[in-house]
Amino acid sequence: MKEGLKGKVAIVTGGAKGIGKGIADLFASQGANVVVADLSEEKTKHLFVKCDISNAKDCQNLVKQTLQKFGALHILINNAGIYPFVSLTDMTEEQWDKVIAVNLKGTFNCTKAALSHLQQKKYGKIVNIASIAGAVIGYANLSHYCATKAGIMGFTRATALELAPYNIQVNAIAPGGIRTPGVDAVMDKKSEEAFAKSVPEKRMGTPEDIAQAVLFLASDAASYITGQLLVVDGGLTMQ
């Protein structure tokens, strides 16, 4: 799919590192003009817009700057998210609200901000990064995170129905265990090795594994696919 996104403009939230960086870099290699939205620039080589996706005005500014720079927007990747581990017993209302605000409300805010332009042009690809956590299975100590990812899948299906008349496809990816800086911060090497052994493919995934799946759904090759969840987990959840 060399230069399969040539001439397209894509926003990737949380694109400064981890899965988001993998998506942003792959999109650029395929000819897309990429805008990275994040709280920290992390030396990204793409156009960077500082954005707190839990803030609707920040998301509106993100789309505004994208249109001012490139004159168009074709693809929105709702990737940014947080996953602080805490038991339900110890979880505070503030901790719950923050995860909901970033992961679920943030997906709404960015989609809403991009909507009028995509509808006017009658073309768009929206890919939401869900997770096997919540969208497929549950995980202890991540009830707030799982709730948001299940919510994102419901949001994906509903918006896919609403936006189909505008030639806008909305889909979601459910990653399994992916090696990212965030995961490395909460899992030691022994834990990562044990997790990898539990996966049929016998390894943790990489940001590039997810990026390739996102690339397909963001391309015109997936123009007849909408409202779907693509699980990318090395076979973990089929056991």
Among all residues, which ones are annotated catalytic?
A: 145
What is the rounded CA–CA span in Å between residue 36 and residue 45? 9
* CA 166-167-168 angle, 5° bins: 90
Q: Provide the CA 129 distance to its chain's centre, in angstroms.
A: 3
Residue of 177, 126, 128, 178 lying closest to 153 (CA atoms): 128
Q: Are 24 and 2 in contact (CB under 8 A)?
A: no
SS3 188: coil
CA distances from 27 to 36, 55, 59, 60 (A): 11, 26, 21, 22
SS3 87: coil
